[in-house]
Every structure is written in C-alpha cells, then in structure tokens.
Structure 1
C-alpha cells in the first residue's frame, strides 16, 4: 500500500507569514527546545513552527527513553511534552528527569479539559490542548522564557 500526502509550504511572502516566522518569546531570545510527541506529523509541524520562530528543536521524540537520552545530550532550555505517548506510555519519566535537572516544560494533550481518560498531569507551566493554537504557544513560550531570564 502506497501512502501519499501533501503539505503546504510557506513562501514567506505575506505579512502574516513573516510575523509567524519572527521569534516572539519575550525578548526575541532563541532557546533550545526538547519536543516529545508520539504523533509524527504533529511533532514535525510543531518542530517546523518552533524552528521558523528561530528556536533550536531536538525532536520530536516518540518515547520517554529517547526523550530522556536526548535531554541529557542536548541540554534544552525548556521542553514541550505530549502527555500520552501511546500504548499506555506517558511522558511522566521525561517530566521527572527534567524536574531533576531544572528544565521547565509544558504539557500537550489531545484530551478535552476534564476528560476522565486524561492522565492527571500538572506542572508549573500548565497544559496546552491540541490542536495547538500558535498564538497560545507563543504566549506560553514567552512566559517560560521570561522565567528563565529571572532565574
């Protein structure tokens, strides 16, 4: 079976596309971001957006083991973690490692707010719901980077 797909590529010609590509993380500061997302297309899309904003992205990593190893070698400034990594696996081990080394993170989830199926995850930076709104993601990154700068 052959699978095909198409993606719209930005030429960067419109004002909106140029604004999307500008880093907007509080100080125009570019950061190193660990991305953990088991759904490959979502992960690739998020990585592309973050890189367009000028950030360096490691990932998407699809398993906790890959993500923890990447965190050790990459040395991220912050991380974006999908809560549910499929097959009964969560990003809890990654969050624990990041807590140990002092790297802030935000969770992503496809669960609706208050869903009984949603694992109970909490962190200082909260949870973003999928599909991720880019304005909300930018605002969250700005907030996280501002805290990094205060530390």
Structure 2
C-alpha cells in the first residue's frame, strides 16, 4: 500500500543521519522541510511552514526535543520520535507513537509514516 505524499519536518542533529533521513524520505516520495539540527531552528521552521508530519530526534546536541514535541502536539501535527535511547529514558515525552528506534532504515520510516496516516503498517520483510 502506497502512502500519501507528505511535507515532513525533519529534525536531526547528526549531519550524516540528517542527510540519510532526507534521502530516505525523498526516496519514499515525500517533501522534506529541513533537515534542521536544533530546537530553535525546528521551532522557527515549524512557525514558517505547514508540515503534514515530523520526524524528530529526541536528543539534539544534548538538548531535549521536548519543546518541539509540545509545539507539534499543540499544532495537531502528527510526528514520530527517533532515538537510540531505551523507552524508559524517553518518559519526558509522554506517550509517543510511532517511535523509531535508531539505527533505522527506509522500511522503519515508511512504517512510521503509515502509522501517522492511520494505516496499518506491513510486517517487516524477512
């Protein structure tokens, strides 16, 4: 099942991962806003654009992405949180679904975006 084209705010502080995230999202047919690497830049871009969804790294250069998550929730914009941390370390964000465990690949992103759109994700290919 193909997912709709989305305008996705990409928030990732590690340059190589940010470029990979952008490439994967574009390969899936989406428009990428950013990527941006810190809380201030993300909030500024969020205020200047109208994303359909967001992929947000939980930790941006040692700073929590919680202000971004709160702004997305207030604006009613669905998002997926990405992190290499264990779920217990992410309690500050509250219930976050979908969650993308780092390292991730295109299938993980597509699955998260399907969940954001309220579609049943397909099982992981073997």
TM range (shorter): 0.7 to 0.9
Aligned residues: 118
What is aligned with 1:19? Answer: none
- Partners of 1:81 and 1:112 in 2: how far apart? 16
Larger fraction in strand: 2
Does 2:2 align with 1:30? Answer: no
Contact 1:35 1:57 in 2 (8 A): yes
- Deviation string for 1:74-102 (max 9, x for gaps)? 21000001001123x01101111111111
Deviation at 1:113, TM superposition (A): 4.8
Q: CA deviation at 1:140?
A: 1.4
Question: Runs of 4 or more off by more than 4 Å in structure 1?
Answer: none
Q: Which residue is 1:140 aligned to?
A: 112
CA RMSD of aligned residues (A): 1.8
1:1-151 to structure 2, matched below 5 A, reads 24-25=2-3, 29-87=4-62, 89-114=63-88, 118-120=89-91, 121-146=93-118
Gaps of 5+ in 1: 1-22
On the 8 A contact 2:28/2:110 being kept in 1, the answer is no
Any idea what SS the aligned residue of 1:79 has?
strand
Structure 2 gaps, min length 5: 120-126
Higher-Rg structure is 1
SS in 1 for 2:9: strand
- Give the C-alpha shift of residue 142 in structure 1: 1.1
1:72: Cα distance to partner? 1.3
2:58 & 2:40 partners in 1: Cα distance?
14
